[in-house]
Amino acid sequence: MNHPLSGQTAVVTGANSGVGRSATEMLLRAGAEVTMVCRSRERGERALAEMRDAGIAGSGAGEARLTLELADLSRQDDVRGAAERIATHHPTIDILVNNAGIAQVRPVLSADGYELTFATNHIGHFLLTHLLLDRLEAGRGRIVNVSSRGHRGADLRRASLDDIARGRAWKGPLQTYADSKLANILFTFESVRRWGGRGITANAVHPGVLATDIWNKTPLVARLLIRPLTWFMDRPEVGGAAVMNLVTGSGGDGVTGSYFNVQREEKPSVQASDRILAHELWERSLEWTGSST
């Protein structure tokens, strides 16, 4: 059996379901050692047990190829703790899949004072990536940021970035989700400009319109309308394969600083290509997280 990622280490956020779960299983089958970063202990341990029972992570000593770290990405202390534990166990990280995402239906603030969707989908991943930067550099890491074609509805110019991040410019769940997904792409492109010389690659991907748990977080009326449509949506495995394409496929061939619609590279929105906006978001994100790079 071909194991192209044998000996490589991967970290996947939101790994207990949806795209993250599918990508985790595919990474394991390709031979990688995977750390799952999950918010819920119960859901994380259930997914871990199911994958081990299915033999995906091997058996016996091989079970060490799949481990679980708990962290709520909206809480910066959680992210710092998880990053410290991951770095302690892994001198190199070859693959980082920033996948975890939520769509909060109301303007709720995180424990650190940021709008919850933006805090989870962008700020938490920005911080995690920075904290693992040395390990990624050591592994000439490939970063895959799971975004969405919904980023085309975003507008990070409608108010100050601080007002958007802190929920003072709230315009509903779809706007907030789109803004966070645009932030994922801006982060991707700016990280290549700043870190590309370190041998790190980064790409963003829309994983497809998938039947995942995220639809359960939409308002009730929308949920009732969407539920029948999930029968016509792609399975999470489509998203997992889109991630793998950027690990062992196109991204594995050195492609970096690109946006993919599933497995096809395409041009993102005008704002996603705005270098001034990307620079500004990076600088604000450093302030929001107390990072320095």
Q: What positions carry a catalytic annotation?
A: 177
Cα 289 to Cα 103: distance, rounded to the nearest angstrom? 21
Contacts of 139 (CB under 8 A, 6+ apart): 8, 9, 92, 93, 94
Residues facing 38 on adjacent strands: 70
The amino acid at residue 29 is R
Burial of 84 from C-beta contacts in 10 A (0-12 / 13-18 / 19+): exposed
Cα 87 to Cα 93: distance, rounded to the nearest angstrom? 9
Burial of 42 from C-beta contacts in 10 A (0-12 / 13-18 / 19+): exposed
Cα 65 to Cα 32: distance, rounded to the nearest angstrom? 7
| Contact by Cβ (8 Å): 251, 142 | yes
Burial of 139 from C-beta contacts in 10 A (0-12 / 13-18 / 19+): buried
Tell me which residue of 269, 140, 151 sits closest to 202, measured CA to CA. 140
Cα 47 to Cα 203: distance, rounded to the nearest angstrom? 26
In terms of DSSP H, where are the helices of 112-196? 116-118, 124-131, 133-138, 161-165, 173-195
